[in-house]
Amino acid sequence: MNLPLENIKVLDLTRVLAGPYCTMILADLGAEVIKVERPYTGDDSRAFGPYVENESMYFISINRNKKSITVNLKSDKGKDIIKELVKKVDIVVENFKPGTMERLGLGYDTLKSVNEKIIYAGLSGFGHYGPYSSRPAYDGVVQAMGGIMSITGQEGGEPTRVGSSIGDIFAGIFGAIGILSAINKRKVDRLGMKVDVSMLDCQVAVLENAISRYFATGKSPVPMGNKHSSVVPFEPFSTKDGKIMIAVGNDNLWLKFCTSINREDLKKDGRFKTNLLRYNNYDYLRPIIQKELIKKTTKEWEKILINEGIPSAPINNIEMLVNNEQVIARKMIQQIKHPKAGRVSIPGVPIKISGCSDDIRFSAPVLGQHTEEILKEYLSISSDNLEIMRKEEVI
């Protein structure tokens, strides 16, 4: 079976993370993604470490399955190239600060007049309207404003940024969902549309029950460390040689858990009979559980708990994660061959679709690797004209 998006062509004007993550999802699903970069320097993230053979692993990890061309968007000829390519593609994705594309003469209204079926996705810090629309943003700024830092970290400690750049990544994921929805709608009315995704909006959307807790209590939630806000026990505990995460998500699991730790008496203890009671009596319950778990190693407890059907896991570091048998079985670490960096390992494709390969088709491109190929194939530009454009620094 062909990949789901093999008939879709994407003009990718994005850089750094939110936009490239979005277009990586589309590329993984089979779309032909033409990544447009600045001549000479390219995407900002090409300058982000770590490096292998002077190639950015940051860039390589989020730009697989794409083709790179270089176009100077500030030159008239460069803008003409973009407009001509827009006639040939289905989707344009950009993550400039709102207003930048309009100043370049490449905003949605202009591109829609070139191709009425174009789906235009703009990913930005605060969206294409609203009082903060023109503000610059990076992941840390959005995590701070978006509230997630205020509920992350140790109890009584400082607000903490989440270790992964989830401000960017969620915008990329929601951007891909919006684009796929627009593709489906276009099948009905045969018209394109604009998809406007704000990193701040995405942070609000993923705050889970924190916003609900605020409206229910009138109080802003605060960091709770590894404790769950409403489920007990649901946190790591120390073992004889380390720590193990345990998630007892309902009352039936609680009964099994009591058996697992050889504390049948806890089943009859009125303080712990329901999750609400366990939550209200957390300060009594936690030391009881901890006293039992310290008696065995993490591996011993993992085997016991999994055999009883209790959700649990050791707290892996990254080395442990990438060598985990489940991660390996699902090909979530794949090795690719990069033209300059050679063989490197990167995260695999998380969307598994029956009948479709989840192999990474090809590595992230070197800067401008496909300029000649794309401009000849899509726009029938001759080698002589390409050479003139290079001298004029158009490409």
Final residue in a domain of this structure, among 263, 285, 317: 317
115 shares a domain with 34 = yes
* pLDDT band, residue 19 (cuts 50/70/90): very high
At residue 208, the pLDDT reads 85
268-276 contacts, C-beta under 8 A, 24 or more apart? 275/230, 275/231, 275/232, 275/250, 275/251
Position 132 in a domain: yes
Q: What is the pLDDT of residues 275-290, one digit of tens each?
A: 999 999 999 999 999 9
Position 217 in a domain: no
At residue 1, the pLDDT reads 65
Lookup result for tokens 């309902």 = 250
Q: Residue 170, Cβ neighbours under 10 Å: how many?
A: 23
Position 119 in a domain: yes
Final residue in a domain of this structure, among 298, 317, 336: 317
Mean pLDDT (whole number) for 51-79:
97
152 shares a domain with 24 = yes
Contact yes or no for 296/240 (Cβ under 8 A): yes
Mean pLDDT (whole number) for 155-183:
96
Position 270 in a domain: yes
307 shares a domain with 175 = no
Contact yes or no for 69/12 (Cβ under 8 A): no
381 shares a domain with 246 = no
Contact yes or no for 205/142 (Cβ under 8 A): no
Statement: residue 393 has pLDDT above 70: yes
Q: Residue 186, Cβ neighbours under 10 Å: how many?
A: 17
% residues pLDDT > 70 (the chain): 100
Q: Exposure of 116 by Cβ count < 10 A (0-12 exposed, 13-18 middle, 19+ buried)?
A: exposed
Position 13 in a domain: yes
272 shares a domain with 200 = no
163 shares a domain with 28 = yes
- CATH (domain of 306): 3.30.1540.10
Q: Find, among 303, 305, 172, 164, the residue nearest to 233 by Cα.
A: 305
* pLDDT band, residue 21 (cuts 50/70/90): very high
Position 260 in a domain: yes
Q: What is the Cα–Cα distance from 336 to 343, expressed in whole angstroms?
A: 6
**E strands of the chain, at which residues?**
9-12, 32-37, 51-52, 55-56, 66-70, 91-94, 119-124, 193-198, 234-238, 243-247, 312-314, 333-338, 342-347
Final residue in a domain of this structure, among 317, 346, 375: 317
Predicted TM-score (pTM) of the model is 0.94
245 shares a domain with 167 = no
155 shares a domain with 37 = yes
- CATH (domain of 380): 3.40.50.10540
Compute φ and ψ for 37, nearest 5 degrees.
-125, 160
Position 229 in a domain: no
% residues pLDDT > 90 (the chain): 98
Structure tokens at 253: 């699991």
250 shares a domain with 118 = no
Catalytically annotated residues: 228
Tally of domains within the chain? 2
124 shares a domain with 75 = yes
Structural domain boundaries enclosing 71: 9-206+326-391
Position 211 in a domain: no
246 shares a domain with 109 = no
189-193, 263-267, 347-351 — which is least confidently predicted?
Answer: 189-193
Mean pLDDT (whole number) for 252-275:
96
289 shares a domain with 337 = no
